[in-house]
Structure 1
Amino acid sequence: MSEGVLHWRVRREFLILKIVATLVLATITVLTLDDLRGAFLAGAATVAAAVLALRDVLAPVRLSADGEGLVVVKGFAGSERLPWSVIERVRVDTQTRFTSRTELLEIDTGEGIFLLSRFDLGAPCQEVADQLRSLRRGF
């Protein structure tokens, strides 16, 4: 990527929270070894939290952009380079259910859609979409 690269990444606070949750759940697993069901559930939760924390360690930057295009996280910790020419649309998908509002940044290539949340980006989705649109227009 060239100069003027923008990066959006998982906030460090969320990574620390996931690591602490993994340690707490591992402790609960050990303390409940005499209760097979409890230990199994706590162990499964420990593994899930550890996997989420590991992904944040391996691929903390979920989206990068420059004048040539985007690099988007793909799979567990891989990434894919998307030139601006293949990107058909960048928009924010907002869903409201009961009192909860969810926003996802949607990057549509025609052949696939990449969805990133505020937690993936460390910033509001609409703010990122606006920055991407202005960067794309600037080149």
Structure 2
Amino acid sequence: MPAESSGQWRVPAALPVLKATGALALVALGLLLAEGDPVQLVLAGSAAAGLLGWALRDVVAPVRLAVDPEGLTVIEGWAGRRRLPWATVESITVERRGRLGLANEVLEIDAGESLHLFGRSDLGAEPAEVAEALHAARPAD
């Protein structure tokens, strides 16, 4: 996103499709491998239901972060929204962590009493790029 005073970041459209496909694959594997064992069927069904719920959240609330001249709007809870005026935003940083040989970046928005974390799959963009855009959109004090 270019340096503007407003914009939004959302979950990539392919992600909920991928999650739903994974849920269907879990159900199919559960039916194929369970051989009548109800415990395995319940486990596969529960995992698939969780994955479908996660995919549904991506469809119901795809926009995870929005910015405008007055502040930020972040997702809160399953699909709620929370408004953060610029005065409450203490810092916007990108945390880089390595684990199991993989590097991961997370956008951190510290609003004093709350901390909001966004990964690449939440934003559909690199967290460092989003942080730059948020800094550019923030009015000078």
Shift of 1:4: 5.4
* Secondary structure of residue in 1 paired with 2:135: helix
For the residues of structure 1 that align with 2:139 and 2:64, how far apart are their CA atoms? Answer: 22
When normalised by structure 2's length, the TM-score is 0.89
Select the structure with the greater relative contact order (CA < 8 A; seq sep ≥ 6).
2
Q: Please give the alpha-carbon distance, in whole angstroms, between the structure 1 residues aligned to 2:84 and 2:54.
A: 25
Structure 1 unaligned segments of length 5 or more: list them.
none
Specify the alignment match of 1:47 in structure 2.
49
Q: Which range is displaced more, 26-35 or 56-65?
A: 26-35
Matching residue of 2:111: 109
Task: Give the distance between the partners of 1:81 and 1:47, measured in 2 at CA.
Answer: 30
Q: How far off its partner does 1:127 sit?
A: 0.3
Please say if residues 106 and 114 of structure 1, whose CA atoms lie closer than 8 Å, have aligned partners that are also in contact: yes
CA distance in 2, matches of 1:33, 1:54: 30
Q: CA deviation at 1:33?
A: 6.2
* 1:33/1:39 contact within 8 Å kept: no
Superposition pairs of residues 87-106 of structure 1, within 5 angstroms? 87-106=89-108
Whether the 8 Å CA contact 2:9–2:124 is kept in 1: the answer is yes
3-state secondary structure, aligned to 1:82: strand
Q: Deviation digits for residues 64-122 of structure 1, max 9, x if unmatched?
A: 00111110000010010111111000000111124111111000011110001110001
**Structure 2 unaligned residues grouped into runs of 5+:** none
Whole-angstrom CA distance in 2 between matches of 1:33 and 1:126: 48
Distance change in 2, residues 1:5/1:13 (3 Å): same
| Equivalent residue, structure 2, for 1:19 | 20
Equivalent pairs, count: 137
Deviates more, 1:107-116 or 1:34-43: 34-43
Deviations 1:114-139 (A, max 9, x none): 00111000100000000000010469
**Identity, % of aligned positions:** 42
RMSD: 1.9
1:75 and 2:77 matched: yes
Q: Which amino acid aligns with 1:18?
A: K
In 1, Cα distance between equivalents of 2:140 and 2:53? 38
